[in-house]
Amino acid sequence: MRAHDVMTSPVVTVEPDTPLKAAAALLAARGFTALPVLDAEERLVGIVTEADLMRGRIPFDPRHHDPVPPAAEHATVADVMSAPVIFANPGTDLAELAATMLDSRLRSVPIVDGHRLVGIVTRRDLVRLTGRDDALIARDVRHRLEIYGGGRRWRVEVREGVVTIGDEFDDPTDRHAARRLAEAVPGVVRAEVFTMPEAERT
């Protein structure tokens, strides 16, 4: 699977001069963890996260702490955003993207095609894949196989995201294609293809 298979598009963004209060309200209202920041030419120039908006913005309770200088009252996204931004392109393999997110401790990665922001992938998107229902996965695998080689030729079973495909014909090329088609379906962990015994064929 590739980034374009799971990314959210279009993307909700902010500008560098967006007030922090407005950005925080947008994150809270939409349930996001980060917002890409685009300049006037719609180029990706940063990303503002929950952590960026929290840092230094929650005052200590004055009843229990000495007064501290307040944070800037008119701060903007440009004052706290992370830049440069780690991003990926639409064709990035999801396994590579997931590894990057884990290694860099990122909760979301913008997807950029050329200089244009086209989507965003979050940890939630990837977790949703791993929890996808086996019945839905089987349905999608069957659909792809029907388009490739006919509807009554294949037997598809899915358990915990692992797809087992039985093929009526003994064709190495078709087995390879069936495996590749199945592994491109969201939620598939891996696929195995075998030639069904003659007694099991329709």
Task: Indicate the residue type of 21.
Answer: K
Q: What pLDDT does 149 receive? A: 83
Q: Over the chain, what is the mean pLDDT?
A: 88
pLDDT bin (cut points 50, 70, 90) of residue 31 is: confident
Provide mean pLDDT across the span 23-31. Answer: 91
pLDDT bin (cut points 50, 70, 90) of residue 32 is: confident
Q: What pLDDT does 58 receive? A: 58
Task: Indicate the residue type of 69.
Answer: P
Q: Report whether pLDDT(199) > 70.
A: no
Q: Report whether pLDDT(73) > 70.
A: no
DSSP single-letter state for residue 14: B
Q: What pLDDT does 53 receive? A: 85
Q: Give the CATH number of domain 3-130.
A: 3.10.580.10
- Residue ranges of the domains in the chain? 3-130, 134-200
Q: What pLDDT does 57 receive? A: 58
Query: What is the distance between the alpha carbons of residues 61 and 27, in angstroms, rounded to a whole number?
Result: 24
CATH of 134-200, one of 3.30.930.10, 3.40.50.720, 3.40.50.11540, 3.30.1340.30: 3.30.1340.30
Distances (CA, A) of 48 to 6, 30, 31, 126, 160: 21, 14, 14, 20, 36
Q: What pLDDT does 69 receive? A: 57
What's the alpha-carbon Rg for the chain, to the nearest Å? 23
Residues near 46 by beta carbon (within 8 Å), at least 6 away in sequence: 16, 36, 37, 77, 78, 81, 82, 83, 84, 85
Distances (CA, A) of 192 to 40, 45, 175, 198, 199: 49, 43, 9, 19, 20
**Per-residue pLDDT tens for 157-175?**
999 999 999 998 889 999 9
Provide mean pLDDT across the span 135-146. Answer: 94
Give the closest residue to 110 by CA, choosing from 86, 141, 93. Answer: 86
Query: What is the distance between the alpha carbons of residues 77 and 28, in angstroms, rounded to a whole number?
Result: 15
Q: Report whether pLDDT(117) > 70.
A: yes
DSSP single-letter state for residue 152: S
Range of lowest pLDDT (68-72, 95-99, 110-114): 68-72
Q: Report whether pLDDT(78) > 90.
A: yes
